[in-house]
């Protein structure tokens, strides 16, 4: 359906063509008609689901950085003050005498400690933890790309939904115009007693039904715009002017199904994400089992101890320590087994996903072929329906045809035009779904 362009938009377009026009005016003119590419950009900026996926990617990257930081030395500090109700003293008895001296300068003492710890050997726990976090980060990035591709397809469906609703409204308006003209012809012929009254009544009923269909189509346009705006994160009552045609790459449909399936299995982000998830779980399982082995670390300490007995109050030390979990009731082994089972489940889901993607590619490829075959038939049918209506109305005016034939011709014309519009839009959507299935949307 053609829309009236507002005067402000027309002026902006004129100014944009002028060399002296400002950049803001040029931008306003270019935004007068929204293309599918522009809708994709707008949705990418406003979609909350995609923003959540980006946050998850950042979370995974931060988790990987935290895992890498486990290799570096850790420095911890502690301090405290302790007060006694009666401070202990040092007593020493020798040769019948008793020496008594305070251990602390008063009823309280202060202590502080600074410790540096560097892991030397962790049984692969740290290195495999880093590798697992890296795989999780890769998987999150792949999921973000998959979400972006899905969003583009959703926006395209909403965009095509608007075009479909507008064309349906245009056809309904044409039907009303045709039936209104026919009703006027029947009214004149009835006034000259050339036709029966039931012809007039039938024409008026058909016109009233067509008017209802037009109202229904108008409502469908409003709903389609609201759906499209919600998908883009825009106000629901916005009525943008959309480009009536969609530029879609049709070269994919010329490839064989085998080639397309092979490309899909290489390109689809969901496959990479699930493979990374399975690998991350397997590495986490191995990292968990590393806790069963001895853990070696080198430590350095600086300690301050407020006292009156020792010859100094601060001490520095260095040492190597080892910890070994000899028995924990099977906690580590069970956690490792759980992660290993989860990895196996992810790999089985990956196998299922690959078959589903192969089916998705095949279905989209066949849908393109079907839509193209329908287009050729629908174009011919639409032309024949227009000619049929013209001839039928001419015969009716010459009293050589019936009122029913005219009404049937209008019905056939509406159906033929709707079939043609649907076939054209279905081809565009099938090509977009094929690009999505192959992983190139």
Q: What is the per-residue pLDDT for 9?
A: 34
Mean of the per-residue pLDDT values of the chain: 87
The pLDDT tens digits of the residues spanning 249-271 come to 888 889 999 999 999 999 999 99
216 CB contacts (<8 Å, ≥6 apart)? Answer: 172
pLDDT higher than threshold 90 for residue 273: yes
- What SS3 string covers 280-294? HHHHHHHHHHHHHCC
Say which DSSP state 252 is in.
G
The pLDDT tens digits of the residues spanning 382-419 come to 999 999 989 998 898 888 888 888 888 999 999 999 99
The pLDDT tens digits of the residues spanning 285-335 come to 999 999 999 999 999 999 998 877 777 888 899 999 899 988 888 999 999
Q: How far, in Å, are 30, 117, 125, 287 from residue 346 at the CA level?
A: 47, 37, 22, 18
The pLDDT tens digits of the residues spanning 202-217 come to 989 999 999 999 999 9
Say which DSSP state 21 is in.
-
pLDDT higher than threshold 80 for residue 101: no
- Tell me the two tokens of residue 355: 């078959």
**Pairing mode, if any, of strands 241-242 and 33-34?**
parallel
Domains of the chain with bracketed CATH: 31-72+123-292+330-438 (1.20.1600.10)
Confidence of residue 99 (pLDDT cuts 50, 70, 90): low
pLDDT higher than threshold 90 for residue 185: no
- State percent of the chain over pLDDT 70: 91
């Amino acid at each position: 359906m053609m829309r009236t362009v507002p005067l402000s938009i027309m002026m902006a377009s004129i100014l944009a063509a002028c060399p002296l026009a400002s950049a803001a005016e040029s931008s306003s003119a270019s935004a007068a008609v929204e293309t599918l590419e522009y809708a994709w950009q707008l949705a990418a900026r406003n979609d909350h689901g995609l923003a959540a996926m980006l946050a998850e990617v950042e979370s995974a990257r931060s988790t990987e950085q935290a895992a890498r930081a486990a290799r570096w030395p850790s420095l911890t500090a502690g301090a405290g003050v302790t007060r006694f109700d009666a401070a202990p003293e040092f007593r020493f008895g020798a040769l019948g005498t008793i020496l008594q001296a305070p251990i602390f300068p008063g009823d309280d003492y202060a202590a502080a400690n600074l410790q540096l710890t560097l892991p030397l050997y962790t049984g692969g726990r740290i290195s495999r933890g880093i590798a697992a976090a890296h795989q999780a980060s890769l998987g999150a990035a792949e999921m973000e790309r998959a979400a972006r591709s899905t969003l583009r397809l959703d926006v395209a469906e909403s965009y095509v939904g608007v075009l479909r609703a507008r064309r349906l409204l245009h056809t309904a308006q044409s039907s009303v115009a045709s039936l209104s003209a026919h009703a006027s012809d029947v009214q004149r012929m009835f006034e000259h007693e050339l036709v029966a009254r039931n012809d007039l009544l039938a024409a008026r009923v058909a016109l009233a039904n067509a008017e209802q269909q037009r109202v229904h189509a108008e409502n469908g346009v409003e709903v389609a715009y609201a759906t499209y705006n919600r998908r883009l994160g825009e106000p629901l009552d916005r009525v943008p002017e959309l480009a009536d045609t969609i530029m879609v790459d049709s070269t994919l449909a010329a490839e064989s199904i085998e080639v397309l399936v092979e490309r899909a299995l290489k390109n689809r982000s969901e496959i990479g994400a699930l493979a990374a998830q399975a690998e991350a779980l397997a590495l986490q399982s191995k990292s968990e089992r590393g806790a069963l082995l001895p853990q070696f670390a080198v430590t350095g300490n600086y300690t301050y101890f407020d006292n009156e007995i020792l010859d100094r109050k601060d001490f520095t030390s260095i040492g190597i320590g080892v910890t070994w979990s000899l028995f924990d009731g099977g906690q580590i082994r069970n956690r490792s087994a759980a992660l290993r089972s989860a990895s196996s489940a992810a790999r089985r889901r990956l196998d299922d996903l690959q078959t589903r993607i192969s089916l998705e590619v095949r279905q989209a490829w066949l849908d393109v072929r079907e839509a193209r075959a329908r287009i050729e038939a629908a174009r011919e049918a639409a032309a024949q329906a227009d000619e049929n209506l013209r001839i039928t109305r001419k015969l009716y005016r010459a009293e050589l045809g019936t009122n029913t034939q005219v009404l049937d011709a209008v019905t056939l014309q509406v159906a033929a035009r709707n079939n043609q519009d649907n076939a054209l839009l279905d081809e565009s959507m099938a090509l977009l779904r094929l690009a999505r299935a192959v992983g190139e949307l």
